[in-house]
Amino acid sequence: MKKIRLTGLIACLLLVTLLSFLIGRYQNDNPFKLLSSNNLFRQLFLQLRIPRVLTALLIGSGLALAGLVTQIIFQNPLADGGLLGVSQAAGFGAALGILVFRGNSIWVQLFAFGFGVIALIISMLISGRIRGNKILSLILAGIAVSAIFSAGIGILKYLADPVDQLPAIVFWLLGSLAGSTWPVLIRTMIIILPLMIFFWFYRWRLNLHAMDKEIAFSLGLKNKFELWASLLASVLLTSSIISISGIVGWIGLIIPNYARMIAGSDTSNSIPVTLLLGAIFTMICDDLARALLPGEIPLGIFTAFLGALMFIGLLVNKEKIA
């Protein structure tokens, strides 16, 4: 049963990847022309479309995984990777990068990533000063930090040049993979792949984080370091992805819930399904973003729209969330 399910999903992933390679707005877009076709098409295909589809695959599975890990650690099926203010802070960082560095993509990425990590640190410092339940205080601190950075985004938008900077900021905040090239993909992979590999091998033990703290302690989760390392890894995953894709919402919230519906709650089963579903969902959303209109539509619009529809589906089958 488990094997059939995984094989089916992998087949589905391959199919969607292949279709995504073929979908696009380039005229006379016939893949069979690839070998013989003109230079422009080959350029387009090799330099733009392949890295973009692979980036969608990678960030989709990464965001979904980060969402799952966050849900486990916070014992809350409705949490997601941006919970600790990371998303808003990364958005602020990117907007600042667009303003200061005129949209130089490496700086925008570095700023987004850096501010995401800063938000995590601030959330952790604040929660350290709140008495009582550590997990709850982290969430509360995250809400506050999130609000501060979203106010910051407001200021930057107000200051931005309405002709070129403001649209760039807005587009970034809505999320897009339009800038994905090989160097961007490779930069992302360097951070994301090791984190994914870590969680892959940690996939069974991750379950322990979902248990009450005293129980987890009795089961051998005695070291605070292990908790913080897992949390840090999931936040790094989120902020490094947001730094290249912009704020792409809903994937981290929705996909793990559907993965649990398919594979059950045991993380050693739900992690592989989460990775696969996240990749498939994001590639489909990005296909729509690229191909539906002559111009590019921000990816975040599709993930939010489809994600919200799926969320409603989940609520209607409420017993399946918990």
Partner 1 sequence: MNSSFIRFNNVSFSYFGRKEKVIKDFSFEIPTGSRTALLGLNGTGKTTLLMLLLGYIAPIKGTITISKYGQESPLTEMNGAVGYLSQNENIPFDYTVQEFIMLGRAPHILKFNIPSKNDIMLCQQIIESLDLKLLASSKLGEISGGELQRVRIARTLAQEPEIILMDEPMTHLDIKNKKYLNELITNLKETGKTIIYSTHDPLDVLNFSDSCIIMGRNNTYEAGETEIIIQSKTLSDFFEIPITVVNEKGNKSIIIH
CA–CA separation, 281 vs 198, rounded Å? 23
User: Given the rule CB under 8 A, which of 22-30, 56-64, 99-107, 215-223 is the region that contacts partner 1?
Assistant: 215-223
Interaction between residue 217 and partner 1 (CB under 8 A) = yes
| Orientation of helix 182-201 relative to helix 105-128, angle to 10° | 30
State the DSSP string of 136-164: HHHHHHHHHHHHHHHHHHHHHHHHS-TTT
Interaction between residue 194 and partner 1 (CB under 8 A) = no
CA–CA separation, 61 vs 159, rounded Å? 35
Cα dihedral 166→177→112→249 (10° resolution): 90
Nearest distance from residue 2's CB to partner 1, in Å? 12
Interaction between residue 143 and partner 1 (CB under 8 A) = no
Instruction: Check: CB of residue 251 under 8 Å from CB of residue 304.
Output: no
Nearest distance from residue 141's CB to partner 1, in Å? 19
User: Given the rule CB under 8 A, which of 33-41, 55-63, 136-144, 218-226 is the region that contacts partner 1?
Assistant: 218-226
Interaction between residue 5 and partner 1 (CB under 8 A) = no
**Which is closer to partner 1, CB of 46 or CB of 215?**
215
Interaction between residue 42 and partner 1 (CB under 8 A) = no
Cα dihedral 57→300→253→222 (10° resolution): 70
Q: Which of 156, 237, 254, 171 is nearest to 199 (CA)?
A: 237
**Which is closer to partner 1, CB of 154 or CB of 220?**
220
User: Given the rule CB under 8 A, which of 39-47, 204-212, 275-283, 293-301 is the region that contacts partner 1?
Assistant: 204-212
Interaction between residue 265 and partner 1 (CB under 8 A) = yes
| Secondary structure letter of residue 47 according to DSSP | I
The H-assigned helical ranges of 23-85 are 39-43, 50-73
**Which is closer to partner 1, CB of 219 or CB of 293?**
219
Which of 140, 211, 232, 291: binder of partner 1 (CB under 8 A)?
A: 211
CA–CA separation, 313 vs 303, rounded Å? 15
Interaction between residue 296 and partner 1 (CB under 8 A) = no
Interaction between residue 181 and partner 1 (CB under 8 A) = no
Q: What are phi and psi of 208, to 5 degrees?
A: -60, -30
**Which is closer to partner 1, CB of 157 or CB of 213?**
213
CA angle 273, 276, 280 (to 5 degrees): 135
Interaction between residue 317 and partner 1 (CB under 8 A) = no
Site string for partner 1, 69-98 (x = CB under 8 A): ---x--xxx---------------------
Distances (CA, A) of 70 to 93, 138, 161, 265: 22, 12, 37, 14
How many residues at the interface with partner 1, by CB under 8 A? 32
Which of 80, 89, 156, 203: binder of partner 1 (CB under 8 A)?
A: 203
Interaction between residue 4 and partner 1 (CB under 8 A) = no
**Which is closer to partner 1, CB of 169 or CB of 259?**
259
The end-to-end CA distance of the chain, in Å, is 22
**Which is closer to partner 1, CB of 181 or CB of 268?**
268
Residues that bind partner 1 (CB under 8 A): 72, 75-77, 131, 201-205, 207-208, 210-215, 217-222, 226, 260, 264-266, 268, 319, 322
